[in-house]
Chains A and B, each alone.
Chain A
Amino acid sequence: MAKMHVKMTVNGKPVEALAEPRTLLIHFLREEMCLTGPHIGCDTTHCGACTVDLDGKSVKSCTIFVGQANGAEITTIEGIANADGSLHVLQEMFREHHGLQCGFCTPGMIVRAHRLLAENPDPTEAEVRMGISGNLCRCTGYQNIVKAILAAAATLNAEKEAAE
């Protein structure tokens, strides 16, 4: 099958590659870019394990063709840590509050939570639950994930206040 030339920015780095137009973004990221953080849990846009950030929106990369991501700015779990290499507060809080067990949903969940807090820096518990309802977890029952996201929001807001 003829390949197309794709260009995008992934985790801050420019990327150029040849790919079959039908290649799903998740396969491009996992198999061409070797970014195996995002996972495949359902192939049908339900589970959210493949969630990445694309031009400022959470998207499920299992139902986007790589061509649709041409020119886009993409962030995966591998690009969530702070610029100095230290863990992002969300990553720290997931560990602190036992917000993960098998870890399979975690990359998608954290990337989604990252965008959620950008959209709504001070969410209520109900808003967090609704905000991550596109991401399924089979292990935790969500309670500690919600706790981790709320704790991260509080920490980020306190940091912001201290800086102002």
Chain B
Amino acid sequence: MNEQTPPATERAEKLKGLGCARKRVEDARFIQGKGNYVDDIKMPGMLFGDFVRSPYAHARVVSVDKAAALALPGVVAVLTAADLEPLNLHWMPTLAGDKQMVLADGKVLFQGQEVAFVVAEDRYIAADAVELVEVEYEELPVVTDPFKALDPDAPVLREDIADQKEGAHGPRRHPNHIFTWEQGDEAATNAVLAGAAQSENAVVVEEMIQYHRCHPCPLETCGCVASMDKVNGKLTVWGTFQAPHAVRTIASLISGIAEHNIRIVSPDIGGGFGTKVGVYPGYICAIVASIVTGVPVKWVEDRIENLIATAFARDYWMQGKIAATKDGKITGLWCHTTADHGAFDACADPSKFPAGFMNICTGSYDIPTAWLAVDGVYTNKAPGGVAYRCSFRVTEASYFIERMIDILAIKLDMDPVELRMKNFIRKDQFPYQSALGWEYDSGDYHTAMEKVLKAVDYDGLRREQAARVEAFKRGETRKLMGIGVSHFTEIVGAGPVKNCDILGLGMFDSCAIRIHPTGSVTARLGTISQGQGHATTFAQILASEIGIPADDITVEEGDTDTAPYGLGTYGSRSTPVAGAAAAMAGRKIRAKAQMIAAWLLEVHDDDLEWDVDRFVVKGAPERFKTMTELAFAAYNQAVPGLEPGLEAVSYYDPPNMTFPFGAYISVMDIDVDTGEVEIRRFYALDDCGTRINPMIIEGQVHGGLTEAVAIVLGQEIAYDEDGNVMTGTLMDFFLPTAVEAPHYETDHTTTPSPHHPIGAKGVGESPNVGGVSCLANAVNDAFRAFGHVHAQMPHDHWRVWKIAEGLGLHG
């Protein structure tokens, strides 16, 4: 090393690469109100679209009279299914292999369903015209209960496929049945359960665990601006798309417009949480309206439309049985799930996984025998079933197993931590083959759990809780204390092309890097940030790989005309898949830079070694070429056998999923007389493998935990028996404010993924997955001393009060 060369640590620090709590580059525009979200787009002559929606959950559409609406000045068009039918766009394919009405075709199947699309000169005229469209309905019997939907005499909802015995995922056994999906060994599991039931040294517990219907509800609703340029035949659509390339391919397939003539752009997105993965009727109608009118058409749903008609999440009824020896060793797990998919199967899952990754439901435990079956069912509710801050039903799976473990602990009269510790997959068992078919990549569950127990003084908390119960019994307090424990194992980073695709599109992802002559960089990826901070963190991955400061790297996403093909951002897949692509593309850049350096330094490639931001001749530290020098050389040196320029692209097909995990403990005080729940403490330890930006990880954890607070303590899409949505505004649909949101303590361990290029696993969804079970366990735990076993979520004040009432605690 010569005198001018700063030490490696100092040079590495300047890169702001992996592990740096780098401030976000996105923030500059957002804090000044200069973000560019879809509703901010304004184009000359732009029209506005708005929907006439069904007030009924199940009805025939007898007639639609547009005359009064069309007579209103400023109204340009009113589209119905009859108008879309000649284009074959009155129905569209769903991501789950089903089809969905774009506009009501003869009947409506859920309240809020799209019936007609009004196009007008401004949004006020469009809203007026919606009121003027006269629709005559004939009401039909409504089914909102997924179990009743399978009754032999239940009304047939999907008459279009009533006689179809085979669905996209195998045989259908009832007109309202969608699929049955089975994993594991049913006979062996039943044998374990039967054996345990007969044995004096074993126990079996059984419970119905319902994960209620909720909604991702990002602060920005869904919308788009479609613009058909009739001169050059190009369709551009700006919209709230978590998977812009997939949207382009689907748009091409269903519209017949060649894919190179479609440009999909995701501008800034105001939160997604899974709800912006799918394709909605509004997108199709705006595109058709722009094609018909030749001018841009904007459609943006309002919040009520978003809550009642845009994709919901969860709605799983999970019947569980778990067998264990008397000393707490789990021997078998059985789960049958009834999945309420609403009127159309519009789940956003990889094609071969109609119930997502629900087969991760053996959780963090070494369970030798297990069986899972999921029955998908149609009801008169909105379609959806998206992964709400979750990797394809992992939240449901984790809630199921973490509740079952607590219920088993009650039966065994054991502490829930002790039972978990006894059954955790041990560090030396990784890679671990689960009974339901996954190979867990890495983990160290005992260490994580022990760290949390120590941090919160778990034994002290239990002593305090016991004292509180005694004080309660003596009449000295009306508040009980709940301690919630959860240990989750996620499965994210979908995924390997061999088993993960969406509509036939393999779930790889991509990164294209262009090094400019002066040593700055533009990198483009197939993902799209919705607040995760990709422009900050992907630049950090690249900085560490190619030795160029993150501040000199611009990351672009979301424009299909420029970004390489990728499957988008959801299911915590950006870091595991696109992040890996970034690292691999970076390594290609470095490999070429090494050849250039060797030629410039007149040595063999192998005589060079990488040193943070440069190649150095082994044994001669004064002879080196920095990446800045090599970037310029790539553009001005004729290196024999090498093309000029310095660019690389990587399409990364991950060999396996990644399996982040974490141990959470929450403590709450519950007022027995009001049902009010106060979260006193929340301690979250996450292990997401290699950590790219600790500041952003912490922010993701805070956000995911708060969404868990919402779900557990009240958030619900509730229907009455006529199929009316009872929670269609933010007055009724619970989103925590800063007052309800608790203060969080975060912690971590680091167990890198052995198959990811930089060992990262993904973190965005972990806190929601672990948070829901942790908080629900705490609510149930508060009442354990009084014989309580399980209550269904959400645990709003009224339902918590009911638990106390049912236990006779109100005197």
Given A98-B696, A102-B271, A141-B744, A46 and B731 contact (CB-CB distance below 8 Å): yes
- Select A44's contact among B533, B706, B729, B741, beta carbons within 8 Å: B729
Task: Give the residue name and chain of the A residue nearest to B272 (CB).
Answer: A102
In the bound complex, residues from chain B placing their C-beta under 8 Å from that of A142 are 702, 706, 737-738, 741
Contact B741 A102 (CB under 8 A): no
- Contact of A140 with B33 in the complex, beta carbons under 8 Å: no
Hey, which chain B residues are within 8 Å of A143, CB to CB?
702, 741, 743-744
Say which residue of A47, A91, A132, A134 sits within 8 Å of B219 (CB atoms).
Answer: A47
Which residues from 692 to 712 on chain B have a C-beta closer than 8 Å to any C-beta of chain A? 695-696, 698-700, 702-707
B531 to A78, Cβ gap below 8 A?
A: no
User: B699–A37 contact, CB under 8 A?
Assistant: no
* Given contacts A42-B730, A106-B30, A98 and B695 within 8 Å (CB-CB): yes
The stretch among B20-28, B56-64, B593-601 that forms the contact with chain A is B20-28
Q: Is B155 an interface residue (CB 8 A)?
A: no
Classify the secondary structure of A's interface with B: loop
Q: Do the beta carbons of B737 and A20 come within 8 Å of each other?
A: no
B122 to chain A, nearest CB (A): 8
Chain B residues whose CB sits within 8 angstroms of the CB of A146 once the complex forms:
738
Asked if B730 contacts A101 (CB within 8 A), the reply is no
A44–B303 contact, CB under 8 A?
A: yes
Digitize B335-362: 1 where CB-to-A-CB distance is under 8 Å, 0 elsewhere: 0000000000000000000000000000
Q: Is the CB of A77 within 8 A of B530?
A: no
* Segment at the interface with A among B36-44, B368-376, B458-466, B801-809: B36-44
**What residues on A are CB-neighbors of B705 within 8 Å?**
141
| Residues on the A chain within 8 Å of B123, using CB | 27
The residue on B at minimum CB distance from A38 is B33
**B97 interfacial by beta-carbon distance below 8 Å:** no
Chain B interface: which of A28-36, A63-71, A155-163? A28-36
Known contacts A44-B730, A95-B27, A143-B702; is-contact A39 B32 (Cβ 8 Å)? no
A96 to B27, CA, bound (A): 10
Residue B738 contacts which of A40, A98, A129 (CB distance < 8 angstroms)? A129
Min CB gap A42→B, angstroms: 4
Residue B31 lies at the interface, judged by CB distance under 8 Å to chain A: yes
State the interface size on chain B (CB cutoff 8 A): 57
Docked CA distance A80–B30 (Å): 13
B474 within 8 A of A: no
Say yes or no: A102 contacts B40, CB within 8 Å. Answer: no
A110 contacts the other chain (CB 8 A): yes
Nearest A residue to B530 via CB reads A102
Chain B positions within 8 Å of A136 at CB level:
219, 730, 735, 737
Q: Provide the B527-549 mask, 1 if CB < 8 A to any CB of A, else 0.
A: 00011110000000000000000
Q: Is A145 an interface residue (CB 8 A)?
A: yes
Q: Which residues of B contact A37 (CB under 8 A)?
A: 32-34
With A and B bound together, what is the CA distance between A133 and B39 in angstroms?
Answer: 25
For window 164-183 of B, CB contacts with A under 8 Å fall at: none
| A-side contacts of B36, CB under 8 Å | 36
Minimal beta-carbon separation of B714 from chain A (angstroms): 14
How far is it, in angstroms, between the C-alpha of A84 and the C-alpha of B735 when the chains are bound?
Answer: 38
Contact among B31, B42, B304, B531 for A87, CB-based, below 8 A:
B31
Residues of chain A with a CB closer than 8 A to B270's CB: 39, 41, 102-104
Across the two chains, which residue of chain A brings its CB closest to B701?
A141
State in angstroms the CA–CA spacing of A80 and B743 once bound together.
Answer: 28
Q: Any chain B CB within 8 A of the CB of A144?
A: yes
A102 touching B269 in the complex, CB below 8 Å, given contacts A141-B706, A141-B744, A144-B699: yes
- B738→A103 contact, CB < 8 A: no
Contact pattern, A 85-111, Cβ under 8 Å of B = 1, otherwise 0: 001000100111010111111110010
Q: Which of B26, B273, B700, B744 contacts A103 (CB 8 A)?
A: B26
Does chain B have a CB within 8 A of A76? yes
Q: Which residue of B lies closest to A133 (CB)?
A: B737
B27 touches A130 (CB 8 A): no
In the bound complex, do residue B28 and residue A95 qualify as a contact, i.e. CB atoms below 8 Å apart? Answer: yes
Q: Once the chains bind, are B699 and A140 in contact (CB under 8 Å)?
A: yes
In the complex, whether A59 has a CB less than 8 A from a CB of chain B is no
A interface residue count range (under 10 / 10 to 19 / 20 to 34 / 35 or more): 35 or more
B32 touches A91 (CB 8 A): yes
A46 near B729 with CB under 8 A, answer: yes
Bound-state CA distance A102–B699 (Å) is 11
B739 CB within 8 Å of chain A = yes
Shortest CB distance B620–A (Å): 43
Interface centre among B28, B220, B530, B696 (most CB of A within 10 A): B220
- Verify A137–B219 contact, CB threshold 8 A: yes
By a CB distance below 8 angstroms, the chain B residues around A31 are 42
Q: Is the CB of A138 within 8 A of B703?
A: yes
Q: How far is the CA of A23 from the CA of B707 in the complex (A)?
A: 34
Given contacts A41-B220, A44-B729, A98-B695, contact A35 B533 (CB under 8 A): no
B268 touches A95 (CB 8 A): no
Is the pair B729, A101 in contact by a Cβ cutoff of 8 Å? no
Bound form: Cα–Cα A163–B37 in Å: 40
A22 interface contact, C-beta 8 A:
yes
CB neighbours (8 Å) of B695 from chain A are 98
Q: Which residues of chain B are near A128, meaning CB under 8 Å?
A: 738
Task: Give A89 to B352 CA distance when docked, in angstroms.
Answer: 51
Contact B33–A129 (Cβ < 8 Å): no
Contact A139 B531 (CB under 8 A): yes
Provide the residues of chain A in CB contact with B219, threshold 8 Å: 39, 41, 47, 49, 102, 104-105, 136-139
Distance A128 CA – B739 CA, assembled complex (angstroms) = 9
Residues of B within 8 A of A98 (CB): 23-24, 695-696, 698-699
**Given A46-B730, A81-B32, A102-B220, also A138-B739 (CB < 8 A):** no
Contacts of A107 in B (CB 8 A): 30, 33
Q: Which residues of A contact B28 (CB under 8 A)?
A: 95
- The verdict on A55 contacting chain B, using a C-beta distance below 8 Å, is no
B328 to chain A, nearest CB (A): 35
B31, B37, B40, B730: which contacts A95 (Cβ < 8 A)? B31
Residue of A nearest to B74 (CB): A1
Kindly state whether residue B582 has any CB partner on chain A within 8 Å.
no
Known interface pairs A95-B28, A140-B699, A142-B738. Does A104 touch B37 (Cβ–Cβ under 8 Å)?
yes
Q: Report the separation of the CA atoms of residues A37 and B217 in the bound assembly, to the nearest whole angstrom.
A: 20
The answer, yes or no, to whether A43 is at the interface (CB within 8 Å) is: yes
A34 to B43, CA, bound (A): 12
Point out the residues of chain B lying under 8 angstroms from A145, CB to CB: 738
Cα A136 to Cα B27 in complex, Å, equals: 18
Bound Cα distance from A27 to B737, whole angstroms: 25
Which residue of the partner chain B has the closest CB to A41?
B219
B55 at the interface (CB under 8 A from A): no
Within 8 A of A (CB), among B68-93: none
Output the nearest chain A residue to B740 by Cβ-Cβ distance: A133
**Does B147 reach chain A (CB closer than 8 Å)?**
no
Which residues of chain B come closer than 8 Å to A102, judged between CB atoms? 218-220, 268-271, 530-531
B684 to chain A, nearest CB (A): 11
Q: Is B798 engaged at the interface, CB distance under 8 Å to the other chain?
A: no
B306 to chain A, nearest CB (A): 9
- Contact A41–B706 (Cβ < 8 Å): no
Q: How far is the CB of B528 from chain A (nearest CB, A)?
A: 12
**Given A41-B219, A142-B738: A101 and B40 within 8 A (CB)?**
no
A78 lies within 8 A of B32 (CB): yes
Among A23, A80, A143, which residue has the most Cβ atoms of chain B within 10 A?
Answer: A143
Interface residues of B (CB under 8 A from A): 23-24, 26-37, 39-40, 42, 123-124, 217-221, 268-271, 273, 302-304, 530-533, 695-696, 698-700, 702-707, 729-731, 735, 737-739, 741, 743-744
Those 4 A-B pairs whose CB atoms lie nearest each other, nearest first: A37-B33, A102-B531, A103-B30, A104-B270
A–B Cβ pairs within 8 angstroms, 9 of them? A23-B124, A30-B40, A41-B219, A43-B303, A98-B695, A101-B699, A132-B737, A143-B741, A144-B699
List chain A positions with a Cβ less than 8 A from chain B.
Answer: 20, 22-23, 27, 30-31, 34-44, 46-47, 49, 76-78, 80-81, 87, 91, 94-96, 98, 100-107, 110, 128-130, 132-146
- Given contact pairs A91-B31, A106-B31, enumerate 8 new A-B contacts (beta carbons under 8 Å): A39-B270, A76-B33, A95-B24, A104-B219, A106-B30, A129-B737, A132-B737, A138-B271
